[in-house]
């Protein structure tokens, strides 16, 4: 048995597969960063650097960075 993903518009009314149209614009990929340091080490390092550490501050900063990135990309 063969498994296949099927969606509306993949095949025409006669059961023939439609041709694929590739995007003409550049597709941006998102980079995912991980941090393997223990939480206490990150907390002390961020305090030394004067950066926000609380979860709320971190999410606020991340949101502002995303807004700035979208503005820079012209979205």
pLDDT at site 67: 84
> For every one of its 75 residues, what pLDDT tens digit does the chain have, with 9 covering 90 and above?
899 998 888 999 999 999 988 878 887 777 777 767 676 776 777 777 777 666 677 777 788 888 888 776 665
So where are the chain's domains?
39-73
pLDDT at site 3: 93
d(CA 59, CA 50): 16
pTM above 0.75, yes or no: no
pLDDT at site 11: 92
């Amino acid at each position: 048995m063969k498994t296949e993903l099927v969606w509306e518009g993949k095949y025409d009314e006669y059961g023939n597969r439609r041709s694929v149209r590739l995007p003409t614009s550049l597709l941006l990929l998102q980079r995912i960063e991980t941090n393997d340091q223990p939480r206490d080490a990150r907390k002390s390092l961020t305090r030394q650097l004067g950066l926000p550490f609380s979860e709320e501050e971190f999410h606020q900063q991340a949101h502002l960075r995303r807004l700035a990135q979208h503005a820079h990309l012209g979205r």
